[in-house]
Structure 1
Amino acid sequence: MTMTTAELLVTEKTPVAQGVVALTLARPDGGRLPDWAPGAHLDLVLPGGLVRQYSLCGDRWDARAYRIAVLREPGGRGGSAFVHDRLRVGDEVAIGGPRNNFPLVPARRYVFVAGGIGITPLLPMIRQAGLLGADWRLLYGGRTRGSMAFLDELPADRVVARPQDEFGLLDLDSWLPEPAPDTKVYCCGPEPLLAAVEARCAGWPAGLLRTERFVPKQLGAPARAEPFEVELARSGRSTTVHPGQSVLDALGDLGVPVLSSCRQGTCGTCETGVLAGEPEHRDSLLDDAERAAGDCMFVCVSRSRTDRLVLDL
């Protein structure tokens, strides 16, 4: 079973930077859309079964419009090319969500770090921080100034824009000198930036750094090469997951529907409770504390470290 979807109308399509277009989506009847909070994303369902996740970057208080921004990715699988080249104002597009794996948690102070299109989930966070009266600042990098979307929406007194062709790599040492218990760091962008921020914050107390990835982390081989058993607590049924087979596919073969979308461990759709056994987390969503808790997993990519897992299904 895949995600449930709704059809929305493209009401605006606007270039917002080199290689980036913003889409405004609304219900065809103009009705109210589901509420969302900063950090949430939509699944955009495109022809040919392509599903892509895009952060909501508009006004969360506008109940009748969603805004997303799409970067053209020349090396991609066609999703961004379709949006840029073929999707038009007046077209209908299927969406799933919204869902939020990157929530803004309360803090007195925030440091936001964005790289390129990674600015999108941070825009609503910045607005929310301002509404709450929290202190915040943003370090925003990109290849060139012209490639950095939404610069004109950001207050210059709290934002440092550092295009790489003018300044080189972002100076993370000065922006993230040491942890502070009342400060949360939120980062989104390309993998090299995320890896550098995670390395800079290694050893910090858990929960101070939150990151979001648009593509999955690169991982090595699974911890175990042997098959393992998955038991479904609610029905008592069980199945064997073989090497090279995902838990999601094994459940599908058993006739057990689990909502799914990205199949890469980045969207959070297939989160499933774990009642017994030790999952091997291979997603790009959970933080260290959530992984250590071992009470949930994303069955599209994660596996088992033990002979048996009991799932809350």
Structure 2
Amino acid sequence: MNHDTPLSPLPLRHLTDARCRVLTAPQLREHGVLPAETTERCRPGGPWQQILPGVYLLHPGPPTSEERLHAVLLYARHRAPTVPRQGGGQPDAPAAMITGLAALALHGFTTAPPLLALDRIEVLVARTRRLRSTGFARIVRAVEMPVPLDVTGVPTAPVPRALADAVAELTDAFSVRRLLTEAVRGGHCETAALVRELGRARLLTRPHVVDAVDTLMAEGRALAEQRLYAMVHNHGLPDPLWNVDLRLPGGPHLGGVDAYWPEHSVALEIDTRAPRPDEDPLHAPYDHKREHLERLGITVVRCLPRALRDAPGQQATVVRTALMAAVDREPSAYVVVLPR
């Protein structure tokens, strides 16, 4: 008796959707298909084909984009079981997820090539897994697996991680700049999160990536400023002085702010910084400026780009509260306001 044969084989005739048309050798055994029969069906001109080691396509002809995605995940999964997530007490990390350009295509990036145009599909697995890139499956390793997003039923890396993995393989500055710009302009992710991920991947030493990041930072700030203008006008806040420098009379430059209400001594600054891993946030230049202004009696509202995007009404309430509180404060020091 062959112990690989299940007692009650599952029929293959019900396999109709794309996921079921791609199976591993163990899955085929569950359906009562022995290795010898699999080999026979995969002979030249046969009805099946092996498209990755241990992964079979149950029809002739090229696989669809969905079948290729599923095949790559199956290849990584049946050789890479789930592993505990770092930190303890968390759910098990996923065995594999799509990343790189394929993930960006799934996320809807128009600047990423379509799935069928990709020669290889990148799949993210834990660093400890013993897997090799083969065929159209390219293995990418992670020290700590991120939480995947379900995109049309496919476990997909978050945009910052997918972008970092894509950029790592790109040498064309124009392509890198287009991807990063779409990420920010399209609202796929925050600038700081993306730059942080590029830093983790040690990509900020590459000149073409640094040039693209400069463009990215400018795009992020311009978009945040547009959302700030909309927030002020849509929520009935008084018009501030926009983009001004503050200076003590005959004294030092205090710094620039994105909006300033002189009658209330309230300043607002959009914080688009990309934190550096070695930076002490308590001694960052932004915080020095804020502390200096507040010692002069000027209230500083810190505004994150994601707050302007996701909760402009809540951010407007914060600003309105600061403006209303001005009547209960001591008058601020006189400052000179100059256009920036």
Scaled by the length of structure 1, the TM-score of the pair is: 0.28
Name whichever structure is richer in helix by fraction. 2
Between Structure 1 and Structure 2, which shows a larger proportion of strand residues? 1
Which TM-score applies when normalising by structure 2? 0.26
Kindly indicate whether structure 1 or structure 2 has the higher relative contact order, using CA contacts under 8 Å at least 6 residues apart.
Answer: 1
Larger Rg: 2
